[in-house]
Amino acid sequence: MKHLHRNLLLCLIFFSGTVLASTLEQQRNDFVRAEKSLAQGDRAAFMRISAGLLDYPLYPYLQYQWLKDNLQQTDAIQAFLTAYKDSRYAGLLRTKWLGYLAENQRWHDFIRHYQATSNMAIECQHRLAVYSTGDKRLGISGAKRLWLTGDALPKECDPLWSVLMLSPDFSPELVWQRFELALGKDNVAVAESVRRLLPPADQLVADSWLQVHKKPTLIETNGFLTAFMGRLFAHGVSRLAKSDLNLAVKLWDERRQAFQLDVQTAQQLERQLALSLARNRHAAAYHRLSQLSVIDTEINEWKLRAALLEQNWAHVAETLSGLTAKERLEPKWQYWQARALEKSGDTVQAQAVYTKLAEDRSFYGFMAADIVSKPYQFANNPLLPAENELENLANALDFKMVRELKALNRNAEAERQWWYAIKKLDNERLMLAAKLAQRWHWDQVAITTLVKADYWDDLGLRFPVYYADQVRNNALLQQVDPAIVFGLIRQESIFNKDAKSAVGARGLMQIMPKTGMQIARELKEKWQSEQSLFSPDVNVRYGAFYYKKLLNRFQGHVALAAAAYNAGQGRVAKWLPSDGTMPADIWIETIPFKETRKYVTSVLAYAIIYQELMQRKDLKIKELMSDVRSG
């Protein structure tokens, strides 16, 4: 019977046209029936129904579902991998089959069908296969590279570790390296497991590492560390900086000379402390960053932010001069160049930089336009592909598979297939794919695809105006600008009403269920369920209400409310000036979180773009940028 199934499957894969094509709707129904037969273990029915689906786009998916549970069918699997080598399912099946070959120690077959992958289980098994088929030196070398990641690795790597530990290359030094790497990534369980491989005397030292990792204030204790424990002292300072930065800096500055430290470790820790001071808006940040021996782009950016917090424009200009010529052309740095020129008294040159920057459709370009009283520039150049180009792309097998998965409401699988399909496309065809996704009302996918094509000027595609009634009605109710609400939705969900974040936020304006319950109470509404947040009516009503609440909390300051919508009002309150006021552009640029900085600048810029799409001209970005007050 096993051989019968195998031969029948081979016939199905290479079947060439004697089965009459049925209607697409019937094929969809038959596809679902075949899946049910497979789930019920009725292989005969599955084979019979599959025979009528050879020309159906999802036939490879159907066969993959059968083969992944029948990995002993070597001939059929090899035939599938040959016939559908360019499909996503060939890669998925190969991964499962390689695991099966490894389990059965079919190492020569494994090596013959292996392809490089990010799957760590397969990579470990490949190193073991190389070792087991005779190239022991290469196998051990590969094992050592995997060992020195510091990451928790899958159980499939255990046989490789057994081989490595029996080799002459395995030593306490190799164990220590993995131990330190694991603690550096806060993988305590890995470090504790590796500790057991050390000699007894070294295990006592490792115990000290683990104690300091869990309670870094121990490095304050006199006599706890000897001069030879410099790396342990550095690790303790690094850990302490996450909970008590001032104490960490103090201990490092006072005691580092008492320890033997390699140059690289000392430089890495100096960099960490300097960046932490900058992110915490510490007065010493600029000086500390300037003392680093290696100044790269990240350090320069934070030097600039530290100088902005000081409002020391000489330091701003000095830091900008350290950027590369390419970096200085970015709108962000152009804006700060103009601000520094203006503050130094060179108003003519500042005006010239602002005027040029005002041509850019961005947060910084819009700010520059307001400064020189120029109209905003939008550079709206929609893509207009020929109809036959879209049809040709839609009729390619990869995209026909996407269409069928969508028709069957397999949306998650459809998205996975889409991202696989567009990997093969050049920029020109990526633009076509974006327009195809837009035609299929798949706006989130369309926008992301257009980003991958590095094309930014199709504003109709990038900024859809959906749920206009809900936005306008709730904006009016809460007395907020509808363009801001559109900007929030565009940034939060890209108008995907079914969006769900990794932390559980839901819907168009990404409301957390707990927040939704609180809003319902405040609105004196009955809380329905978490699912209700996927309703555009409910979500936009709650989101607009919550945004207005944040506006009230921060005295009507749009940028602060946007920051609080992303990072939480508690964090934003901590980022306010300790006294006096601060220009809003400086406050935004010095937000500690990269995500929130990008969020605020995007929402404000999107609001300007949406008012243009709504054929309005009244909203100015300078009106959203009043000075930020303390407390």
Q: How many CB atoms lie within 10 A of CB 196?
A: 9
414-429 b/e with 16+ CB inside 10 Å = b?
Answer: bbebbebbbeebeeeb
In this structure, are residues 433 and 424 in contact, taking their beta carbons and an 8 Å threshold?
Answer: no
Element (H, E) at 181: helix 172-184
Q: What are the distances in angstroms from CA 507 to CA 309, 310, 443, 531, 535?
A: 36, 40, 14, 9, 7
Residue 318: active-site member? no
In the numeric block, which tokens belong to residue 32? 């679902």
Give bridge partners of residue 582 from the DSSP assignment.
628
CB 193 within 8 A of CB 213: no
Residue listed under structure tokens 């980022």: 575
| Gap between the Cα atoms of 349 and 317, Å rounded | 14
DSSP classification of residue 210: H
For the stretch 180-185, contacts whose Cβ atoms lie closer than 8 Å and that sit 24 or more positions apart, written own/partner, are: 180/150, 180/209, 180/231, 180/235, 181/148, 181/149, 181/150, 182/150, 182/151, 183/150, 183/209, 183/210, 183/213, 183/235, 184/150, 184/235, 185/150, 185/151
Is the separation of the CB atoms in 38 and 66 below 8 Å? yes
Core vs surface per residue 307-334: b (16+ CB within 10 A) or e: bbbeeebebbbbbbeebeeeeeeebbbb
Other residues' Cβ atoms within 10 Å of the Cβ of residue 3: 9
Say if CB 608 and CB 366 are below 8 A apart: yes
Q: Which of 123, 492, 589, 612 is catalytic?
A: 492
Which residues, in sequence order, are bridge partners of residue 500? 506
User: Is the distance from CB of 179 to CB of 197 less than 8 angstroms?
Assistant: no
Residue 219, Cβ density class (10 Å: 0-12 exposed, 13-18 middle, ≥19 buried): buried
Determine the 3-state secondary structure of 261 from DSSP.
Answer: coil
Question: How far apart are the C-alpha atoms of 253 and 270, rounded to whole Å?
Answer: 10
Q: Which are the catalytic amino acids?
A: 492
